[in-house]
A and B are shown apart, each in its own frame.
Chain A
Amino acid sequence: MAERNPDLAVPVALGPRLAPAFALEAWSRLLRFVRREPLTAACAFIFVAIVIVAIFAPWIATHDPLAGDPRARLQGPSADHFFGTDAIGRDVFSRVVYGARVSLLVGVAATLAGTVIGAIIGLITGYLGGTVDLLVQRVMDGIQAIPALVFLLLVAAIWQQGMLSVVVVLAVLIAPYVSRLVRGVVLSLREEAFVLAAQAMGARPLRIMMVHILPNTLAPVLVAASIIAGGAMLAEGALSFLGLGIPPDDPLWKTSWGAMLKPENLQYFERSPYLVLFPGAALALTVLAVNVLGDSARDRLDPRLRGTL
């Protein structure tokens, strides 16, 4: 399906002789892309910028995100502290910078894990059907019948709070959605001529699943995954907001945006609005960028779906 879109056609067989021409071609293509889809380009830019910020956080941050001067608490933005300081005098800008790592990592890791698990379950149950399908579907229903936040509250204190437990729990919550999606596609494909033909030719189920069915599920899964990633970031934010996500002042991960928005900071909101505005805006902007990019990916992968946003 991707071949339909000229922008995405990847020049695979380019020899070294053509390299400069390819660079020029890529550049003009980029320009065309920016001109034609400025918003996607802007969101791609934002997203890339956030990724860069996350990767190079130690070099971008101006201060140690954990250390603060208690005498310099709740200061407004200044040349020294771009986003001001928080209630115990830590640099908000540096904390927002480090928060990007947590959001992105949780979004990517939870989505990846949840999508892979969900896709495998959906593929198998959809193709095999029968009792296994029925049983697994009920388990999935069970997980989905508990609202995510309640589920997260329930598991919060079982393990040590931390990145791993947040990712695992979010993955468990994501898997049912993806498995449903994949199962639906598999069910509709199972009776398609090319699958029946493969079966008639004596192909083994595993081969049929991998070669004939899996590729066809990729587009909708990819699209759903991009939007799920936004949801996962929001969920991590909500969890940290309630004090149950990534521990604040974690030596490795430093802090998350949700943790910076904690309700206890409310009392300073009036005198230091930036304390809550910047991390919140960072989270909203990231989710926006991810959603728009997901949308754009959907348009490219499946033009029939274009324009639903």
Chain B
Amino acid sequence: MRYVNDDEESYWSRMFRKRLTRRQALRMAALGGAGALSAAYLACRGEGPTATVAPGESPAAGVSSVLADYRSRFHYSKLKDLPGQKEGPKYGGTFRFSHYQGFTGAWDITGPEADALASFAPNHFNGLVTFRQDDFSNVHNLYEVVSDLAQRWETPDQLTVTFRLPQGARFHNVPPVSGREVTSEDVKFSLEVYKQSVAQGPILADVDRIETPDRYTVTVRFARPAAYFLQSLTYPVFLVFAREAYERKEEVFVRQPIGTGPFVLERWDPPNIYSMRKNPQYFRKDPRTGMQLPYVDAIEAPILNLNVTLEEAAFRDGRIHTIWTHTRRAFDQMLATFPDNVGQVTTPPPGFQPYITVKLDKPPLNDQRVRAALQHLIDIDAIVEGILEGMAGPGLAHDFSFFGKEWPWTLEELQAMGANMGYDPQKARQLLSAAGVGRLRIKFMYGIGEPIHAEVYRTVANFWRQGGIEVVQDEVPITEIARFNAAFFGKQWGDVDVMGFSFAGPGMDEDQYCYGPLNSRSPRNFYWVNDPTLDELTERQRRQFDINERRRTVEEIIKRELSQSYRIWLVNIYKMAVRRGFVFNVVDTIHAWHNIGWGSKGNEMVWFSRAP
């Protein structure tokens, strides 16, 4: 800024009329500002405290009335008689929803980012088997393996699985693969690459060799019985690709996803747009209707990176067809934007929830009593009722659907399994003094990429502070993801004591919630857990083909973990999605680091009952 001399009292300046000073102008500014403020203040005052949970008895034990109400009103079973549903699927239309950048690198589905690519790559690739995804699936169907690229499969004994491929399933018509037919050799090649890779490798660890008796048959032979294998294979990272593409990794493989999948990539241009069009020679038919997939002609996904304001505005004026809301209030608001909107409340995903990892080998955190005290200082009910407006249950990264449960465990059920959960500052104090800890200082690092999770972590910090613990918060914004990853995955914790992390698992089988995080030899054990009891149990459940036997072992694992408070559990947030009334088979297929609707898996099933 420059200052220019202009204000000497001269004849010429006096010539100009109406003497007011600039002080007066500034005073007007100040008055105007104050006026606007007080107006805003008055406008705000009208809004009283927002009631979060209506008083009254809960219909289901341990579940608030709000949650019970939403769970039943927006249950998947309510989707059956919607207008347009009876006539069955129709073809055509462009499906639009907001996407996020998700992965930073190339389309390397064999690389370290394969987990993140599970939200993208299934649009363009197929695995051998998958899980059910349509409006009629729910958690009960999760352990129901359905065919994807493999038409049928047989398990003659505990050490063998044989997959039969269809004839005439072709790769995209993109060079260098150019629409060639998929053969057993491709499957063998892909699985062998995955066996060496970091994301998929652990699940294939028990695979001994892969044989291709003929062009359409693949036989997987195991070194040891692997009870978890087939179910784990539905995790959409075991995608079949072509050898000739992989061999030209830099020029082809990482640049263009060439698979057998329902859509051919058109444009991947973050942070702008992710678009694709229908694969005209797609092999797969809808298992329910027998109709050729995919139903929609194209998908156009603006990449908004979870910019809630932009997303809600776009849903409001009809530019996107579905939205995943973060709060119940937003869910209600979005539901009201179009008269035919459909809402669905689905189970919280075990693989994506805020929870806290403890540096278990650092005194005094190596003392179970200290960890239990930290857990007892957190009022989970208050977080659920307050921050999450009732739409959450207590957290635990184990798959409740493995036990045939539709909804996650309640606090009472977890306590019955030996969890040191439940708000009890008195007990926490006793535990701390029993452990001989006077003053406890904790450095608490957490990511704030998911805003609602950040609120939960901040609340936890407050609870600890109220319990007399000195908490130093280290909030890591999305711009610092490198620092966060270096700490979490690189085990370079520095002086951090506890870390808030949102991804658990991920997994399609309970094994990935047992062996993965809890076995001391597992590459996915980011949690400092080193417990011989858990090592033995997690190994044992991998070999148990009898589901009831395996359930008993898993229950033992959960009890052991809970009683030791290896991880501090917070909440598991229900998912609330709203979609336009003419869109079917869509709910839960986006943003879902979850069993149902694993990322993009399921977009091929989406159909429109009428043109938007």
Interface residues of A (CB under 8 A from B): 37-40, 42-43, 46, 66-78, 84, 87-90, 153, 156-157, 161, 223, 227, 242-244, 247-251, 263-264, 266-267, 269, 271-274, 277, 281, 284-285, 288, 292, 298, 304-309
Contact = CB atoms under 8 A, between A and B. Distances in A.
A88 B44 contact: no
B466 A156 contact: no
B5 A304 contact: yes
B479 A156 contact: yes
A171 B478 CA distance: 26
5 contacts: A70-B387, A76-B44, A273-B40, A298-B3, A305-B3
B23 interface: yes
A71 B382 contact: yes
Nearest to A228: B1
Contact of B451 (A37, A264, A281): A264
A244 B475 CA distance: 9
Contacts of B23: 37-40
A43 B22 CA distance: 14
B459 A75 contact: no
B473 A247 contact: yes
Nearest to A223: B3
Interface in B27-49: 27, 29-30, 33, 37, 40-41, 43-49
A281 B35 CA distance: 12
Contacts of A285: 33
B99 to A, nearest CB: 18
Most chain A beta-carbon contacts within 10 A, residue among B43, B49, B330, B385: B49
B386 A70 contact: yes
B33 A284 contact: yes
A173 B169 CA distance: 61
B366 to A, nearest CB: 25
A87 B462 CA distance: 13
Interface of B: 1, 3-8, 22-24, 26-27, 29-30, 33, 37, 40-41, 43-50, 52, 307-309, 312, 326-327, 329-330, 379, 382-383, 385-387, 448, 451, 454-455, 458-459, 461-462, 465-466, 470-475, 477-480, 482-483
Contacts of A87: 387, 455
Contacts of B8: 304
Given A76-B49, A251-B472, A267 B6 contact: no
Contact of A288 (B29, B307, B387, B474): B29
Contacts of B474: 161, 247
B475 A247 contact: yes
Given A73-B386, A251-B470, A288-B33, A267 B330 contact: yes
B66 to A, nearest CB: 13
Contacts, number: 155
A267 B326 contact: yes
B471 to A, nearest CB: 8
Contacts of B47: 75-76, 271-272
Closest 8 A-B residue pairs measured CB to CB?
A243-B477, A307-B7, A70-B386, A76-B47, A264-B451, A71-B386, A39-B27, A267-B308
A174 to B, nearest CB: 14
A28 B480 CA distance: 56
A137 B301 CA distance: 49
Contacts of B50: 73-75, 271
Contact of B473 (A84, A90, A249, A284): A249
A309 to B, nearest CB: 6
B584 to A, nearest CB: 28
B564 to A, nearest CB: 27
Contacts of B475: 243, 247-249
Nearest to A40: B23
Given A39-B24, A75-B49, A267 B309 contact: yes
B15 to A, nearest CB: 16
A69 B480 CA distance: 29
Contact of A243 (B33, B41, B448): B448
Contacts of A67: 462, 465-466
A296 to B, nearest CB: 9
Given A73-B386, A157-B480, A308-B4, 9 more contacts: A70-B379, A70-B385, A73-B387, A88-B386, A249-B461, A284-B33, A306-B7, A307-B22, A308-B6
B458 A288 contact: no
A9 B50 CA distance: 57
B485 to A, nearest CB: 12
B296 to A, nearest CB: 29
A301 to B, nearest CB: 11
Contact of A244 (B41, B46, B458, B479): B479
A201 B44 CA distance: 70
A266 B479 contact: no
A43 B50 CA distance: 37
A78 B40 contact: no
B44 A69 contact: no
A309 B23 CA distance: 9
Nearest to B312: A267
Contacts of A73: 50, 52, 386-387
A304 to B, nearest CB: 5
Contact of B44 (A71, A84, A263): A84
A281 B33 contact: yes
Given A76-B46, A247-B473, A308-B6, A288 B480 contact: no
A102 to B, nearest CB: 15
B45 A77 contact: yes
A266 B387 contact: no
Contacts of B451: 264, 267
A274 B40 contact: yes
A157 B459 contact: no
A88 B27 CA distance: 37
Nearest to B6: A307
A298 B307 CA distance: 44
Contact of A242 (B6, B52, B327, B477): B477
Nearest to A309: B22
A223 B2 CA distance: 11
A233 B564 CA distance: 48
A68 B24 contact: no
B23 to A, nearest CB: 4
Which among B27, B383, B461, B472 has the greatest number of chain A C-beta atoms within 10 A? B27
Contacts of A156: 479-480
A36 to B, nearest CB: 9
